[in-house]
Chain A
Amino acid sequence: GPTGARRAGIVGIERKLEQKRKETDQTISVAFEDLSNLMEKAKDMVSLSKTIAQKIQDKQGAISEDETVQFKSYLLSLGIPNPVTRETHGSGTNYHMQLAKELAQVLQQPLEECGGMMSLADVYCRVNRARGMELLSPDDLLNACKLLEALKLPMRLREFDSGVVVVQLVSHSEEEVVRETSRLVEESGSLTAEELSRVASFSVMLARERLLTTEKKGLLCRDDTVEGLRFYPNLFSTKPVME
């Protein structure tokens, strides 16, 4: 009949679309409602944890180390790290300690292969690429690395003056770097960071840090031009002023 024909026509399609849209709207609003309920719950947790943090501060020393550790893992699972009040009560978390140990194992060989030093960004890429699932957040990695030293693991977190952060092997000494870098520069006459990275296969960023460290120690000097920043053996200190 005519009604059936109309339902199959354009109006019918429009009506169907309208119905679909309404359904989707409903699903979305339900999701949002759930989400705000969930947030309401989390908000309670946050305020509760703040109260506990306050209590810990009040009773400084009265609460055992174990309790603070547990509290920290609660905070961590909530995603409300609270360093200001936490740092004074136990340093770091259980999770980060375990993570640091795992990192020490995973990184030992790659570090040896790339000259004893790796930028934190490279470490982050390597570890997360190998994991696939349950990836590390940058904060987790940084916090775990900060514990490397306290746990007496064979590597250290180190920050250069430029703010570049690296992980380096304990066995990897500064003097060694300085000696090796100045030898490479002397062999080539002069080097830029890019050239050094090619000669010695470090990343450009680390090559730059090596050159700067060696310059700081007084074994290199710089030639800064539009062509780039080039490092030379420090003849100012090895050759007499007048010759």
Chain B
Amino acid sequence: MAEFQWPWQYNFPPFFTIQPNKDTQAKQLEAWCLLVLSYCRHRRQYSLDVTDAQDSPLFHNQKIGRKLPLEAVYTVLEELRKKGNIEWTDPKKRNRCLIMWRTPEEW
């Protein structure tokens, strides 16, 4: 399997802090959503366990020593859910979700 191509944001420390400026945050979340989808597509992964994902390279860049806080992981995942790209297996617990690289409509 080819090496995953990380986007430039992945090595930019502010990527790992949810930005308070709304415009900036919108761009940041857009980048996160794209990253999560392309990462899962690359690994042919259809489901995601929140706790495991937080420790995986996806949300944890060891090279620059930054990790997306759990709260922020949920912010990103909720954003994806709104777009129709994920679905919680248990919406109450929100500990595991199914990932659709394409939205059901696109299929």
Contacts and interface: CB of A to CB of B under 8 A. Distances in A.
13 contacts: A190-B13, A215-B20, A218-B21, A218-B23, A222-B19, A225-B13, A225-B66, A230-B13, A234-B21, A235-B12, A236-B24, A239-B8, A243-B7
A216 interface: yes
Interface in B51-88: 66
Nearest to B31: A241
Interface in A58-113: none
Interface of A: 190, 215-216, 218, 221-225, 230, 232, 234-237, 239, 241-243
A89 B7 CA distance: 62
Most chain A CB inside 10 Å of its own CB: which residue of B16, B17, B31, B34 = B17
B8 A236 contact: no
A236 B28 contact: yes
Nearest to B23: A218
Chain B interface size range? 10 to 19
B49 interface: no
Mostly, the B contact residues are: helix
Contacts of A232: 12-14
Given A221-B14, A230-B13, A216 B21 contact: yes
A235 B24 CA distance: 9
Contacts of B21: 215-216, 218, 221, 234
A241 B24 contact: no
A237 B24 contact: yes
A223 B16 contact: yes
B8 A222 contact: no
Counting from the closest, the 9 A-B pairs by CB-CB distance are A223-B13, A236-B27, A224-B17, A221-B14, A223-B14, A241-B31, A232-B14, A236-B24, A243-B8
Given A223-B17, A242-B7, A243-B7, A237 B23 contact: yes
Given A239-B8, A243-B7, A222 B17 contact: yes
Given A215-B20, A216-B21, A237-B24, A242 B12 contact: no
Interface string B19-48: 111011001101100100000000000000
